[in-house]
Amino acid sequence: MKFEDEPVPGYPLPILPGHTSPGRLERVLRSGVFAVTSELDPPDSADPEDVYRRARVFDGYVDAINATDGSGANCHMSSLAVCALLTRVGYAPVMQISCRDKNRIAIQGDILGGAAMGVANILCLTGDGVQAGDHPQAKPVFDLDCMSLLEIGRTLRDEHKFQSGRKLSFAPRVFLGAAANPFGLPFEWRAERLAKKVAAGAQFVQTQYCYDVPRLRMFMARIEELGLLDQVFILAGVGPLRSAKAAEWMRTNVPGIHIPDNVIRRMAGAEKPALEGRQVCIDLLQEIREIKGISGVHVMAFRQEESVAEIIQKSGVLNGRVPWYPGRDKGSQTENQAIKELA
């Protein structure tokens, strides 16, 4: 079965040799095709249609959709619930798990629950501190960090047991991911930190925003020196900027964000900043796809999700490929049925 073959919603694909999950994202990455993922901003709502409406803007342009887990320490619909809704109709979600809000008992339960509902991809995160969000009085947990969470996920999957040693009757079949920041300080340690995450169990990585391509190339060269290119799939983070002022605010106030002066100057000189921000993103995509070891991109367009389709289409990174989405093959299925009836 080819990577683009699709299951009926609710029924997983078989696991191919050398794969750890039945998910489409792993199939796409292992096939060598340039992958595209994006993020769904969870609603402040209990209406499932709010999730589906937000997911539909990505139809035909992404291979998987991240469901964020209290991003920025702000409260929204849970990642597990968003993923449950998305799998119900056949989307390929990436369930983000933050260590901030739950201990290892709850987290292991969520991994099993997500896998039971068809979630094949998990992104392991330490999480932002509660002081950054809308409930600063909340009590943080941080029973685990991203490294220990990766190790627990791998133990559940590969050793069929909880961290306590108690055996599972059926293990979660998941593709484990982590985040990386090629631009954090000290810069020289970033590749080594990623190596530790790979050793802990990370199979794919989604990075922080990459606006500095020369520095990203340096990071990837170091990744190659460490022998990691054959061990992990790296998806570079990109996203459109709204204005020079917004870019300045991000690099000043958001930890880990690095935006070079030349990008801000380009935005400041634009007659239509939002349009220029999308073009900057398109240009970055076209440069980044040529870097050795980059397996795809993760497009983060917070409150600009409707721009993802335009950015991906104009960048040409899909090379004519149309990632699956609910209803994609409806026309061809109708055509095939008509042929059968005529025969």
pLDDT along the chain (343 residues), means of 10: 60 88 96 97 94 97 94 86 96 96 97 96 89 82 96 98 97 97 90 97 97 96 97 97 94 88 95 96 97 98 93 97 90 43 38
The pLDDT value given to residue 110: 97
Nearest in space to 40 (alpha carbons), one of 95, 100, 120: 95
Residue 187: per-residue pLDDT: 86
Report the run of H or E that residue 158 belongs to, with start and end: helix 146-158
Q: How far apart are CA 224 and CA 151, in angstroms?
A: 23
Distance CA 34, CA 28 (A): 8
Q: Tell me if residue 192 falls in helix, strand or coil.
A: helix
Token readout for 76 is 């929204």
Residue position matching structure tokens 């958001």: 254
- Residue in the block written with tokens 């020369």: 214
| pLDDT at residue 8 in the model | 67
Q: What is the pLDDT of residue 227?
A: 97
How far apart are alpha carbons 103 and 142 in whole angstroms? Answer: 7
Whole-model pTM?
0.92
DSSP string, 166-219: PBPSS----EEEEEE-TT-SSGGGHHHHHHHHHHHT--EEEEEE---HHHHHHH
- pLDDT for the residue 343: 34
Residue among 166, 155, 160, 79 at smallest CA distance from 121: 79
* CA angle centred on 180, ends 178 and 183, rounded to 5°: 175
- Read off the DSSP letter of residue 337: H
Integer Cα distance of 70 and 78 in angstroms: 7
Question: DSSP label at 174?
Answer: -
- Domains of the chain in start order, with CATH, are 24-342 (3.20.20.220)
Contact status, residue 25 vs residue 204, Cβ threshold 8 Å: yes
pLDDT of residue 253: 85
